[in-house]
Amino acid sequence: MDDRRSSALVDHVGELRDAFRVARTERAFTIHAIVVLPDHLHVIMTLPDADSDFSGRWRRIKSLFTHRLAASGAPISRNHRGEFALWQRRFWEHTIRDDADFERCADYIHFNPVKHGLVPSPSDWRYSSLHRYVRAGLLPSDWGGAGQMDGNFGERGD
């Protein structure tokens, strides 16, 4: 999000889910891991073969979410150009190279609420695919412990 003090994503997580659902219906993609924080989110998604239009999908998700909030009367700040200031203009795209890279990226996503001081343990954050991983037996319920996570996740900042 453009406004790092905002909590619009978690305050309106239902509208965000709807935006993802509509965008996915219009142009397929699969979400493998996701975390929604108050002011930004991280996703591992896969597009269909021979389709690399991440930008179009993000543009659609952002547009749907923004228009739903505006229509609901939710207060949305505007930037100096008069545009809604909910989203950053860019996103960071990373091509996952192998299973180890996928695991590193998923771990980064699931640990992000702890990194930002929102919760003491990843399992304490509601808006995370970590819970799906635990239900599927892919990770233990106490994964990430009490804020203990080692590793260089290769992030360029949030």
User: Active-site residues: which are they?
Assistant: 127
Pick the closest to residue 11 from 37, 33, 34, 42 (CA basis).
Answer: 37
Q: For residue 33, list its beta bridge partners.
A: 44
Q: Determine the Cα–Cα distance for residues 147 and 149; give it in Å rounded to an integer.
A: 6
Tell me which H or E stretch contains 41: strand 41-46
Query: How far apart are the C-alpha atoms of 73 and 135, rounded to whole Å?
Result: 36
CA angle 146, 147, 150 (to 5 degrees): 125
